[in-house]
Structure 1
Amino acid sequence: MMVLCASLLIGAFLAVTYSYKNHTTKSFLITLFTLPAIVAVVIMMVNGNIGTGIAVAGAFSLVRFRSAPGTAKEIAIIFLAMATGLITGMGYLLLGVVFAVILGCIFTILNLSTFGETASPTKLLKITIPEDLNYTDQFDDLFEKYTNTYSLLDVKTTNMGSLFKLSYNIELKDSKQEKAFIDELRCRNGNLEIAICKQMETGYDL
């Protein structure tokens, strides 16, 4: 019972830590809350039985492959929750608590700091152009002028094929020049729709 209570407390701490300043979902926080306790109980039940341990490892593998892709931070916090569950399940309650608190504090500090951030974050640029406009090099000079890096992600048709929608990854040289960049793009695309938006984190940002 002490192991279960300690694991639940650690899970609650990790869930609160991760939810601070992070975009998350209720289901993910519930998973963080309960995972240490689940792992701890599993470890207690295995108790040196090799066959059972192999079966449990297979079950964890199935859960991983059936889950949706997560971001690097989500995967890290999931592994932290599993590690604390393993520690408490083996009977090291104090070590589990200390480990969770230290790593949770480090996670929060890194999350609040500018560690790993670029001066100008990557954004998603969407440009609508008429079908008769050759887009291959139409905007290259503007990209060279206003961005550090750019890459074409996809091209698709819309409005019965009369329009094309282009999507680019861009990193602006100066975020204050964003409006000027859009104004010059408008002169090239016939004043059709242009959008610059922040990129959402995906499961492929490792």
Structure 2
Amino acid sequence: MLTSIFHAGTFYIASVTAALGVSFALGLVIAFLYKLSGIHIGSFAVVLAVLPMLVACVIMIVNGNLGASVAVLGAFGLVRFRSAPGTAREIGFIFFAMAVGLAAGMGFLSLAALLALAAGMAILILEKMHFGDDLSPERELRITIPEDLNYNGIFDDLFQIYTRHARLDRVKTTDMGTMYELSYRIELRDQEKEKAFIDELRCRNGNLSIILGLVQREKNEL
């Protein structure tokens, strides 16, 4: 498994073809895992499919030269190739593809396949376990009220009945200043009473817009 198909810096067509073929096949597997594990971008999946083969090609070109280490660092610098910030998930898949390409480019095809299999299984298991999902019970509540309604403490009695805690995060004007939008962070006592809670709020805000949903977290960019 830890024996390279390349010997003493000598390359044969069969060995090079095997390395490129295996790296491309593993790249397809990585791209499939990326598409399977969540929301995906089509063009990024294509890049993932060919990235291991490109990295393997770079490693084979510089193999045996004094600048090999510099070239490897340059290859890993490709992680910044995207003009837009990438999410942690996308950056992780880029490193995954590069590691497989590096192993294949150095001739360790079995190691590259084992790495792809082990990391792929780990990704699938963690996805099935919903590892890293936001399980916070907090909800975001947005209530629109008329500009002439004093919002200080107007919903406090309802919050005491229907929520474990509630705090006012933001107040902003809407509709050319004729309305206020109040943004709260709340935790409901009983999910089954969500409709009753909203109906009570509607009686207080004049049946204007009320939005109750999940808290919008910051995008996990790197």
TM-score relative to the length of structure 1 = 0.76
Task: From 67, 71, 77, give the equivalent of 1:53.
Answer: 71
Give CA deviations for 1:135-191 in whole Å, capped at 9, x if unaligned.
465445545654566665654432111112344555545433332332233233221
Give CA deviations for 1:87-146 in whole Å, capped at 9, x if unaligned.
212221111111111111111111112434465555543332222334465445545654
Alignment of 1:100-179 (within 5 A): 100-117=116-133, 123-135=139-151, 137-139=153-155, 142-143=158-159, 145-147=161-163, 154-168=170-184, 170-179=186-195
Task: From 34, 42, 45, give the equivalent of 1:26.
Answer: 42
Residue 202 of structure 1: CA displacement?
5.4
- Structure 2: unaligned runs, 5 residues or longer: 1-16
2:76/2:98 contact within 8 Å kept: no
Amino acid at match of 1:191: N
* Distance (Å, rounded) in 2 between the aligned partners of 1:150 and 1:39: 52
Residue 27 of structure 1: CA displacement?
1.9
Change (3 A) 1:128 1:203: same
* Distance (Å, rounded) in 2 between the aligned partners of 1:159 and 1:141: 28
* Distance (Å, rounded) in 2 between the aligned partners of 1:153 and 1:4: 55
Q: Give me the identity figure in percent.
A: 44
* Distance (Å, rounded) in 2 between the aligned partners of 1:104 and 1:166: 44
User: Which secondary structure does the structure 2 equivalent of 1:186 belong to?
Assistant: helix
* Distance (Å, rounded) in 2 between the aligned partners of 1:130 and 1:90: 68
Amino acid at match of 2:101: G
Give CA deviations for 1:13-56 in whole Å, capped at 9, x if unaligned.
11212222512221222222222222222222333415852882
RMSD in angstroms over aligned alpha carbons?
Answer: 3.3
Residue 81 of structure 1: CA displacement?
1.6
Identify the range of structure 1 (9-18 vs 139-148) with the bigger mean alpha-carbon deviation. Answer: 139-148
Looking at CA atoms only, which structure, 1 or 2, has the larger radius of gyration? 2
1:81 aligns with 2:97: yes
Equivalent pairs, count: 204
- Structure 1: unaligned runs, 5 residues or longer: none
Identify the range of structure 1 (94-103 vs 196-205) with the bigger mean alpha-carbon deviation. Answer: 196-205
* Distance (Å, rounded) in 2 between the aligned partners of 1:150 and 1:83: 47
User: Which secondary structure does the structure 1 equivalent of 2:39 belong to?
Assistant: coil
